[in-house]
Amino acid sequence: MTDDPLRSGAVNALSNLKDRCDRFLHDPRTEIALVALILLSVVLIVIEFGMAGEEGARSGIHLAVQVAGDALTVIFICELLLRYWVATRKSRFFRLYWLDILAVVPLLRFFRVLRILRLLRAGILINRRLEAVSASLATGLGLQLGVFLVIGVIVLCGGLAIHVAERDSAQPMKSLSESIWWSFFTLAAGEPMGNTPQTGAGKVVAMLVVLGGITMFAVLTGVVSAFMVQRLKLGMEARDMDLDELSGHIVICGWNRVGPHLVRHLLDDTAQRRHAIVAVAEFEQPPESELAPEIRNQVYFQRGDYTRLDVLESVGIRRARRAILLADKTRSRSDQDRDARTVLAALTIEKLNPDIFTCAQLLDRNNNVQLQVAGVEDVVVDDEVCGQLIAGSVKAEGMIPVFTGILSMKGGGKVMRMPLPESWDRRPFGEAVQQVKQRHDALLVGLERQMGGHRKTLINPASAFPLLTGDLLILLAQQPVQLEGPQEITRPSGS
């Protein structure tokens, strides 16, 4: 009996370690550091090949450069091993990183030039950072960056390889710079320029450079060059991760006119921008044009019937943190059929991921019973919400901006919910309101309490209403509030 808890704890610890490692590898600071190390490794390999064969005072420097290059290769090998470890699908890892693996595999010294292939990975990381800053900037520079990187890799690899291959020939290249210039002009002309290679290896290098030139300069019309550029461009997009690699994301099941507004408001929250959104429905065409250009890269559209188990599995529902069920209007169905599909999807989602938070949109309140049984936390009925907003506006005259300001989480109206600290037990609600405002510049508007097995929301209860351990406080605040610690609520002196 003692083995099962120990085994479960070890599995959880390993899973947590893998998650932390995955976040570390995709952290912007890690990617920037990798770009710097890749550029440094290219500089070192150029210096190493340029100094090869020299003797005397520079031999020590040459050895130091070799050691530094080997140390960087070890770092890259460790990085790839970590990426392989955290990859959900190992075949996809090899499909994405085969060039990187080729660049770090220890081979003969002549093939150390393949380390320059890591420049392509640097380009992917750079473009991903550009995508995070501006999608339009990344789109505009993606093609140019890809073409120039491939040309640079061909020129450097050709120059270094011909320099080593022809070093002992009858007509050797005089210097590394001359070899690189030979590679560039050969690439541009489509035929060997200047000295004709004398060795077999040199002739192979010349042939590869010529073929590379023909391919690259036919990029707009050639099938091979089009594939290369398109593949590089796709690899540089921010969506470098397949759906099966996502975790902690939001899954939207179904789509209607609410969808674009929902996505926009979700991404208004800075914390939410770190998590992807996956929308799954029976789309005829993915509705990407309905979204603003700056947020399109954060939304995945998956075509499929979200009531099916395999479709939900394909969007990573087991690893999602939230699910939103919209009344789907991608197909012509009755309102009753739409609600029935919402209920069926909710039952399946809660079964696959009991810890997920689910919010559902219904067209008929009578269908709420099935959602409660399924374990759906929140249910929104369009007609009821719209009626309440209009009635509130009529009663208070002009309150719609207030309601929308709170719901849109702008202008200091961000709604947050947090557990009541144990030291606040039995505190009057009015006292909590006053001190939360004084200490945190936040507004305590109500609380949630479990009553009779159901969650009940109390908005603005009486000032003397006692708070109890287990309550969830509802606040409006501009910044996240930390209620525990040195700023705990204390009773006024004499109370």
What is the distance between the alpha carbons of residues 391 and 405, in angstroms, rounded to a whole number? 17
So what's the pLDDT on residue 1? 44
Give the CA radius of gyration of the chain. Answer: 30
Beta-bridge mates of residue 451: 454
Say yes or no: domain 243-385 is CATH 3.40.50.720.
yes
The pLDDT of residue 53: 53
Domain boundaries defined on the chain: 20-236, 243-385, 412-495
H-type alpha helices, 295-399:
309-314, 335-352, 368-374, 382-396
CA 408/CA 494 separation, integer angstroms: 42
Residue 267 to residues 99, 134, 271, 375: CA-CA distances in angstroms? 35, 15, 8, 26
Q: Give CA–CA dist 396/381, Å, rounded.
A: 23
**DSSP H or E segment with residue 32:** helix 28-51
Ranges of the chain with pLDDT below 70: 1-4, 49-59, 106-115, 117, 127-147, 167-174, 190, 193-195, 214-244, 270-273, 398-399, 402-413, 453, 484-495
Beta carbons of 401 and 408 less than 8 angstroms apart: no
- The whole-number pLDDT of residue 146 equals 66
CATH 1.10.287.70 assigned to domain 20-236? The reply is yes
Handedness of CA 232, 233, 234, 239 (dihedral sign): positive
Tokens matching residue 274:
């770190």
User: Which token pair is 315?
Assistant: 């969007």
CATH number of 412-495: 3.30.70.1450
Annotate 112-147 with DSSP letters as a single string.
Answer: GGGGGGHHHHHHHHHHHHHHHH-HHHHHHHHHHHHH
Residue with token string 């750079």: 126
Nearest of 152, 138, 117, 101 to residue 240 by alpha carbon: 138
How confident is the model at residue 494, as a pLDDT? 36
Model pLDDT, residue 218: 59
* Structure token pair of residue 96: 């994405």
Cα gap 418→482, rounded to integer Å: 9
What pLDDT does 17 receive? 86
- The confidence score (pLDDT) of residue 492 equals 38
Task: For 236-283, give the secondary structure using H, E and C.
Answer: HCCCCCCHHHCCCCEEEECCCCHHHHHHHHHHHCHHHHHCCEEEEECC
CB 320 within 8 A of CB 302: no
| Inter-residue contact 213 to 188 (CB < 8 Å) | yes
Contact predicate 152/178, CB 8 Å: no
* C-alpha to C-alpha distance for 151 and 145, rounded to whole angstroms: 10
Host H or E run for residue 322: strand 322-325
Burial 236-270 (b: 16+ CB within 10 A, else e): bbbebbeeebbbebbbbbbbbebbbebbeebbeee
Q: What is the pLDDT at residue 495?
A: 33
